[in-house]
Amino acid sequence: MIDFDPYKEDFMSGDRSIFTQLREEEPAYYSEKYNCWFFSRYEDVKAISTDYEHFSVEKGVTTSQLLLGEPTGAETFALMDLPRHKSHRSLIQPEYLRGKISEFEPRAKEFLIDFMAPLLDKGNFEVIHDLVLPASLRLVSSFIGLPDSLAKKVRDLLRIYWTRKPGQIGTTEEGSKAMVELISLIMQFIKRRRNAPKDGEKDHLSIWLDAEVEGRKYSDEEIANLVMTMIIGGSDTVPLTVSNTLLLLDKNPIFKKAVKEDPSLIPNAYSETIRYAHPNNMLGRTVIKDRKFYDKTLKVGDKVMMLFASALRDPRVFKKPDQYNIYRDISSAITFGIGIHKCVGEHLARLEGRVILENIFKNIPNYQVNYDGIKYLYSEFVKGHSAVPIFFNN
C-alpha cells in the first residue's frame, strides 16, 4: 500500500523513487491528511492543467498554500481563473513573446559577461550563487524595473525564505521574517516610484502603476505581489536547470564531448535537463466542479497536486524516461506547463539558459564538477541543488 506524503524526510531530501509506484499503482492517489489528490501521469497532468471548468487556481498552487493553508497574499494573474486572468496577464505578456525576447539577447549577453568575467580568473566558482542566480535576478529585475541594489537584497532574502530545515514543515520562522522584510522593501520602492516623476520607462512597474483593470488601479500591495511572482519565477528554473545541465553533462562525458564539439546541441540539452530533473515537483489546483478520474470522483473543495516531475518521467510518453538523452525530441513536452497558466517567462528562461551555457562552453569547456562540494535542496516543492561548484583551467 502506498503511503505518500511530500513532507516525509526521504522526499524532502530528494528521493523521488515513489513516483514510479504512484504512476503504476495509484495514478490518482488520495491523501486524507491533506484532502488532496496527487496525479503522477503525463496525460492526467496535461488534462487538469487545461481544464478550467473543473479546476481553479484561486486558492493557491503551491504545496504551502494548498496543503498547509499558508496565505496567498494579494491577488496576481497567476492565481486568477478565466476570464480575469487574461486581462491581467496581458499587461506584460507581450514583453515575453518569443520574438520580443530574441531582441533582448544582446542585453542578456552583456549582463552575463559582467558576472562571468571576474569568475574566469579564479579557476573555480559555485554555479548557482556566484553566477546564474545573480545574473537571472538582474535580468528579471531589469524587466520589472528594480535597481541592482534592491535586486541583491531580494536575492539574499529569497535564499533565507526558501531554506527548509530537517523536521520543519513549510516556511521556517526565519523564512517568514525574510518574506515580511522582502515585501516591505518592495512596497517602499513602489511608493517611491509612484510618487516619482515619470521618466518614460516602460518596465513592468510603470505598466502596473498606470494600469486600470476591471475598473480600478492596482494597490501597492497588489503590485508588490506581482513583483514577487515575477522574481520567484525568474530566480527558480534557470539557476537549478543550468547547474543540473552542467552536472548531468559532466556525468555523461559522451554528451559533454558532443556539446563541446557542437554548441547547437545546448538548447536541447537544456530542455532535456528540465524534463529529466524538473525543478518543481508539483503545482496544484482546487476542484470547483465534480470530476471523475479512474472511476474516482474528485469533489468540490478537494485539493489537487499535479506531479510534474513524475509526469515528465512517464514511460507512456517518453522512451526510456529515466535516461538522460540530449538528442531526445521533447519539443511538445509540458516542461514549462501548458494552457493559460503556462510560465509567462518561458522564452526568457530558455534564452538565459542557452546564453549562460554557451559562454561556459566557449570559455571553460573542460570544466569539472567538484562533487564533494555539491549540496542538495531540502524541499517538498523544489528539486535540485543549492550548490554545484566547478573548477577549471582557463
Question: Which pLDDT does position 31 carry in this prediction?
Answer: 96
Query: Percent of the chain beyond pLDDT 70?
Result: 99
Question: Which pLDDT does position 227 carry in this prediction?
Answer: 92
Question: Which pLDDT does position 233 carry in this prediction?
Answer: 82
Neighbours of 5 (CB within 10 A): 17
Q: Between 161 and 325, whose confidence is greater?
A: 325
* pLDDT beyond 90 at 144: yes
Cell of 332: 511538445
- Average pLDDT estimate for 92-118: 89
Flag the least confident range among 202-206, 229-233, 346-350, 354-358: 229-233
CATH number, span 9-366: 1.10.630.10
Type of residue at 80: M
Smallest Cα–Cα separation from 194: which of 152, 223, 228, 229? 223
Smallest Cα–Cα separation from 309: which of 37, 89, 26, 40? 40
DSSP letter for each residue of 302-358: -EEEE-HHHHTT-TTTSSSTTS--TT---TT--BTB-STTS-TTHHHHHHHHHHHHH
- Average pLDDT estimate for 152-164: 81
Distance CA 392, CA 394 (A): 6
pLDDT digits (tens, 9 = 90+) for 106-137: 988 888 888 898 999 999 999 999 999 888 88
Query: Percent of the chain beyond pLDDT 90?
Result: 73
8 A C-beta contact, residue 72 and residue 79: yes
Question: Which pLDDT does position 196 carry in this prediction?
Answer: 81
Cell of 135: 545574473
Question: Which pLDDT does position 148 carry in this prediction?
Answer: 79
pLDDT band with cut points at 50, 70 and 90 for residue 160: confident
* pLDDT beyond 70 at 200: no
pLDDT digits (tens, 9 = 90+) for 358-377: 999 999 999 999 999 999 98
Helices and strands counted in the chain (H then E) = 17, 14
Give the single-character DSSP code of 382.
Answer: B
* pLDDT beyond 70 at 60: yes
* pLDDT beyond 80 at 232: yes
What is the chain's alpha carbon radius of gyration, rounded to the nearest angstrom? 21
Distance of alpha carbon 35 from the chain centroid: 25
Distance CA 323, CA 235 (A): 27
State the first-to-last Cα distance of the chain, in angstroms, to the nearest integer.
54
Angle 364-368-251 from CA coordinates, rounded to 5°: 120
* pLDDT beyond 70 at 193: yes
Question: Which pLDDT does position 262 carry in this prediction?
Answer: 98
- Average pLDDT estimate for 212-241: 90
Neighbours of 359 (CB within 10 A): 17
Q: Provide the sign of the torsion angle of the four alpha carbons 295, 300, 303, 307, taken in this order.
A: positive
8 A C-beta contact, residue 226 and residue 218: yes
Question: Which pLDDT does position 167 carry in this prediction?
Answer: 79
Q: What is the mean pLDDT of the chain?
A: 92
This prediction has a pTM of 0.94
* pLDDT beyond 80 at 103: yes
* pLDDT beyond 80 at 201: no
pLDDT digits (tens, 9 = 90+) for 301-340: 999 999 999 999 999 999 999 999 999 998 888 999 999 9
Type of residue at 223: I
Question: Which pLDDT does position 149 carry in this prediction?
Answer: 83
Smallest Cα–Cα separation from 127: which of 328, 368, 341? 368
Smallest Cα–Cα separation from 110: which of 84, 141, 135? 135
- Average pLDDT estimate for 177-189: 91
Flag the least confident range among 45-49, 229-233, 238-242: 229-233
Helix (H) or strand (E) holding 376: strand 375-376
Smallest Cα–Cα separation from 62: which of 240, 327, 304? 304
CA distances from 249 to 158, 263, 302, 329, 372 (A): 28, 13, 41, 17, 17
Three-class secondary structure of residue 368 per DSSP: strand
* pLDDT beyond 80 at 41: yes
Spell 245-283 as b/e; 16+ CB within 10 A means b: bbbbbbebeebbebbeeebebbbbbbbbbbbbbbbbbbb
